[in-house]
């Protein structure tokens, strides 16, 4: 009986060591996947950020010039009223508000579609969770 108990505890110890090694290997693989995906996304975000800053600068300058030209054109349409500046700025403000709301909507939609979360890693972890739950149920 002592020999059998020693063999069973050795087998149990070996089994626990094997389980520990597999869990560590499993976690290391998942962490490596996550790091790789986050690095890939950060490179894309850095390039996009630089281009976004340049784009914002150019578009801001163009926006100011177009706004002044548009206000001047609309003001010329109201030559006989004391409120021509007010009406011109109001018309341009409404136009830019509509345009800005549309741009914000499309930006939000794009972020929802593409997202910035590491989707592949999350999907793999979800599948792993289902697999572990299935294995536990089969063992019990």
Q: In the prediction, which pLDDT does 14 show?
A: 80
pLDDT at 120: 78
Length of the chain measured in residues: 140
> What's the confidence (pLDDT) of residue 57?
94
pLDDT digits (tens, 9 = 90+) for 102-113: 999 988 888 777
126 pLDDT tier (thresholds 50, 70, 90):
confident
Instruction: Determine if the pTM surpasses 0.85.
Output: no
Number of domains in the chain: 1
C-alpha dihedral over 85, 91, 93, 94, to 10 degrees?
Answer: 160
CA dist., res. 100 & res. 110, Å (int): 15
Would you say residue 18 has pLDDT above 60?
A: yes
Where would I find the beta strands (DSSP E) of 3-138?
none
Question: To 5 degrees, how large is the angle CA 24–CA 30–CA 33?
Answer: 140
pLDDT tens column, 41-90: 777 777 778 888 999 999 999 989 989 999 999 999 888 889 999 999 99
Domain of residue 120: give its range: 2-139
């Amino acid at each position: 009986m002592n020999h059998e108990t020693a063999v069973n505890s050795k087998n149990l110890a070996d089994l626990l060591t094997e389980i520990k090694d597999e869990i560590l290997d499993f976690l290391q693989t998942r962490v490596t996947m996550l790091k790789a995906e986050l690095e890939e996304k950060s490179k894309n975000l850095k390039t996009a950020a630089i281009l976004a800053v340049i784009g914002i600068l150019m578009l801001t300058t163009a926006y100011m010039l177009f706004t002044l030209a548009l206000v001047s054109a609309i003001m010329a349409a109201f030559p006989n009223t004391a409120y021509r500046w007010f009406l011109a700025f109001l018309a341009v403000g409404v136009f830019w508000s509509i345009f800005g709301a549309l741009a914000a909507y499309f930006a939000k939609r794009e972020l929802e579609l593409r997202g910035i979360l590491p989707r592949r890693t999350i999907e793999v972890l979800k599948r792993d969770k289902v697999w572990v739950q299935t294995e536990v149920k089969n063992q019990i």
